[in-house]
Structure 1
Amino acid sequence: MRNKIVFLFFIAMLVVSCKSNSDFDEYIALPNSSWHKTNAIQFTFPINDSIGKKHLFINLRNNKDYEYSNLFLITQMNFPDGQVIVDTLEYDMADVTGKFLGQGFSDIKENKLFYKENITFPTTGEYTFKVRQAMRKNGEIEGIEELEGITHVGFRIEKTQ
């Protein structure tokens, strides 16, 4: 009995002492696990530190209904001073055998995708990050209207070590 109490105490201390290195971490659920091409997911967050370096991540959860091995995204970062940075990004979502990448034991896989690495925000204030899917089928000009199989889109800011 005493060993169980000591064990539970150490587990509780471990959980309490774990300190997150996250400055911002938010997810938005997509209705019907489908991402419409005009649906820009938006995150607004404060930056109070213009000195420390950060890693920025786009977090995605996909299920077995996702039909592709890659993903194209268009991102937009709006700065407090009005500056805007737009990027087009491509990420691998499956390996060469078709097995989904990411973490998870069920049909849902979570992908932590690097967006920016070791960056410093130039000014403090409120920033806005927008992301939308930009998938197209090979040989087609029009984008995929409804991208099935993406359940959640998230954005995370981590302090570097």
Structure 2
Amino acid sequence: MRFLAGIVVAILFITACQSNVSYSEFVSLQNGWHKDNRIAFDYQPTDTISKNNVFIVVRNDEKYPFSNLFLITRMEMPNNEVVVDTLEYEMATPEGKWLGQGFSAVKESKLWFKENVAFPVKGNYRFEVEQAMRKVGNPDGIVVLEGITELGIIIEKQ
């Protein structure tokens, strides 16, 4: 009986952990993130009514030289409407402690991108993300941003 109860608890735990993620995709950035590399994610929602939260997930290691991250995002909808945003995220405390989660050298930061958004039109939604980091006094920006190992998008139903 105890064994059966353990199995039931395990199944409930696994089911709860799968939660409400409707989309999750990651791209590996093995040689740094070039400023011209706009990373794209395509999403075709099946539910046009529910509200969703969209997250940008950044995995970085100790080679990342900054305490913040500037991104330019582009969301293209099936009706050809485009929304462009410039976003800034804190990646570390002023003392240099990474804010992301993880026990190894790689930290994962789940960053809010869009909150309480519906995808009312059926079709392809394209999310594009590019890095927009600059060194002080250099308007050209960082050509290859080191330390970002992966970039992803997660969409969760509310």
Name the TM-score class by shorter chain: over 0.9
- Number of residue pairs the alignment of both structures matches: 157
Q: Which structure 1 segments of 5+ residues have no match?
A: none
**Percent identity over the alignment?**
49
Matched, 1:127 2:125: yes
Q: Secondary structure at the match of 1:9?
A: helix
Secondary structure at 1:47's aligned position in 2? coil
Alpha-carbon distance in 1 for matches of 2:8, 2:119: 38
2:71 counterpart letter in structure 1? L
- Does residue 1:91 correspond to 2:89, yes or no? yes
Partner Cα distance (1:42, 1:123) in 2: 19
17-26 vs 142-151, which moves further: 17-26
Unmatched segments (≥5 aa) in structure 2: none
> Structure 1 residue 159: deviation in Å?
0.6
The aligned residue for residue 142 of structure 2 is 144
- Could you list the runs of 4 or more consecutive aligned residues of structure 1 that deviate by over 3 angstroms after TM superposition? 5-8
CA distance in 2, matches of 1:122, 1:13: 33
Rounded Cα–Cα distance in structure 2 between residues aligned with 1:47 and 1:53: 11
Inter-partner Cα distance in structure 2 for 1:71 and 1:63: 13
Is 1:29 aligned to residue 20 of structure 2?
Answer: no
Q: How far apart are residue 129 of structure 1 and its match?
A: 0.5
* Secondary structure of 2:44's aligned partner: strand
| Amino acid in structure 2 at the alignment position of 1:145 | V
Q: Are the structure 2 counterparts of residues 13 and 93 from structure 1 closer, same or farther at C-alpha, using a change threshold of 3 Å?
A: same
Report the RMSD for the aligned CA atoms in angstroms: 1.5
Per mean C-alpha deviation after superposition, the further-off stretch among 130-139 and 47-56 is 47-56
